A = this chain, B = another copy of it.
Amino acid sequence: MVDEFSLIQSIQPKEKRHKDLMTGIGDDAAVYRTDHHAEQMICMDTMTEGIHFTSATMKAYDIGWKALAANISDIAAMGGFPDYYLVSVAMPSEWSSEMKEMYRGMEDLGSMFQMDLIGGDTTSSRSGLVITITAVGHAEQGKVFLRSGAKPGDLVFVTGYLGESAAGLALLLKDIDINDQKAKHQLIKSHQRPMPQVEAARLLRGIPSRFAVNDISDGLASEANEIAEASGVTININYQSLPVSKSLSQLDAHDQRRFMLSGGEDYQLLITAPEENSEVLRDVFMKHGVLLTKIGVVTRGRPEVYLIDKGTKTLLTKSGYNHFKSNKE
């Protein structure tokens, strides 16, 4: 099987045919201009039974919610506001009432952002469910946040908490267990009904600053590497600075660490911003009650990510694996 990265490389168009196309493959969403004041953005995300969920981890309602959340998150990561969505479902023959529940999950989340469901397709599936959603959003001209926007000297921030979704999945799969039922419930909810950071994107749009933004769908390590590569910078993350939720703190240290660094589907935003704008950034987020934590700095150097933990600096790969490359650098 082709890995996704080499596939994307091989299908990446060599040329851009429309002058109005600003960003194609390679960021959270594509961006194209339709008039002089606004930019349209569009993304597509698929969830497959047996890969992204099973009947043990997600109910139909959750599948709908989360599939749409993943798409809204991509729009938010570009600085956009979500407007419309289309849904394609390849449906197993045993599904019936579940379909309505799945659409109800989408509707409940979509209605929070006044989104309209405007189209899609329904086919049969020989085996499991495959749901693909396309979301369309818009941003004011010049307010699009690309992964390539980070520069040396920027600070690195993250919204919300990390690792909760992966911890919730591990609980659902009985890979781990905790006694605190309230924490368990919270972690599972983070996995099944993540909340895309549309509000955080709105706050960022209101701040006159340059930002690089990525949504955390594949884990902090992976997303930080994507910004580092797209921007041609080194990102240094301070492990001790990562925000640990009260629920996640119930887990042992090893599990906390792997979920925070490599756990996906938190749909928080990873943000870099110039240091001179960091104070207003923190003030705005605090004023609106959106958790924002400074977790690192951008430096000149190779497009790599380093994790600094109690004075030890290690290379953090996309998968979240730590290579001991240099100590006390």
Q: Which residues of A contact B (CB under 8 A)?
A: 1-2, 4, 7-8, 10-11, 13, 16-18, 21, 24-25, 29-30, 32, 34-38, 40, 42-52, 83-84, 86-88, 90-91, 93-96, 99-100, 103, 107, 111, 114-128, 130, 132, 134, 136, 138
- Tell which of B2, B18, B46 touches A96, judged by Cβ atoms closer than 8 Å: B2
Given contacts A11-B100, A44-B134, 8 further A-B contacts (CB under 8 A): A4-B122, A21-B84, A35-B36, A40-B40, A42-B42, A44-B88, A48-B125, A121-B132
Docked CA distance A212–B119 (Å): 19
A13: B residues at CB distance < 8 A: 107, 116-117
Decide: B50 and A126 in contact? CB cutoff 8 A.
yes
B116–A125 contact, CB under 8 A?
A: no
A87 vs B47: C-alpha distance when bound (angstroms)? 14
A51 touching B84 by the CB < 8 A rule? no
Name the one of B24, B91, B96, B111 contacting A118, with C-beta atoms under 8 angstroms. B24
Question: Inside 8 A of A134's CB, which chain B residues have their CB?
Answer: 42, 44, 86, 134
Complex Cα spacing A8 to B2, Å: 35
Bound-state Cα–Cα, A1 to B92, Å: 8
Contacts of A4 in B (CB 8 A): 122
- Give A135's nearest chain B residue, CB to CB: B134
Which B residues are in CB contact (< 8 Å) with A40? 34, 40
CB-CB nearest 9 A-B residue pairs: A35-B35, A30-B118, A127-B127, A34-B34, A132-B132, A134-B134, A24-B118, A44-B86, A30-B119
Closest chain B residue to A128, Cβ basis: B126
- Are B90 and A17 in touch, CB under 8 angstroms? no
| Smallest CB separation, A67 vs chain B (Å) | 11
Q: Are A51 and B11 in contact (CB under 8 A)?
A: no
Given A83-B18, A91-B1, check contact A34 B124 (CB 8 Å).
Answer: no
- Nearest B residue to A47 via CB reads B123
Residues of B within 8 A of A38 (CB): 34-35
Indicate whether A119 sits within 8 Å of B24 (C-beta atoms), given known contacts A51-B126, A130-B125: yes
- Give min CB distance, A294 to chain B, whole Å: 31
CB-nearest residue of chain B relative to A74? B119
Best-buried of A10, A51, A126 by chain B (most CB within 10 Å): A126
- Can you name 14 A-B pairs with beta carbons within 8 Å? A2-B96, A18-B83, A25-B118, A25-B119, A25-B120, A34-B34, A34-B35, A35-B37, A42-B134, A46-B90, A46-B123, A47-B123, A51-B124, A125-B130
Q: Is the CB of B1 within 8 A of A95?
A: yes
Are B46 and A88 in contact, with the CB atoms below 8 A? yes
Bound state CA distance, A1 and B100, in angstroms?
Answer: 12
Q: Report A6 CB to chain B, min CB distance, Å.
A: 10
In the complex the two chains form, is A18's CB within 8 Å of B116's CB?
yes
Q: In the complex, what residues of B have CB within 8 A of residue A99's CB?
A: 2, 7
Cα–Cα distance between A95 and B3 once the two chains are bound (Å):
11
Return the chain B residue nearest A26 by Cβ: B119
In the bound complex, do residue A118 and residue B1 qualify as a contact, i.e. CB atoms below 8 Å apart?
Answer: no
User: Is the CB–CB distance between A116 and B48 below 8 Å?
Assistant: no
Q: Assuming A115-B17, A138-B34, is B46 touching A121 (CB within 8 A)?
A: yes
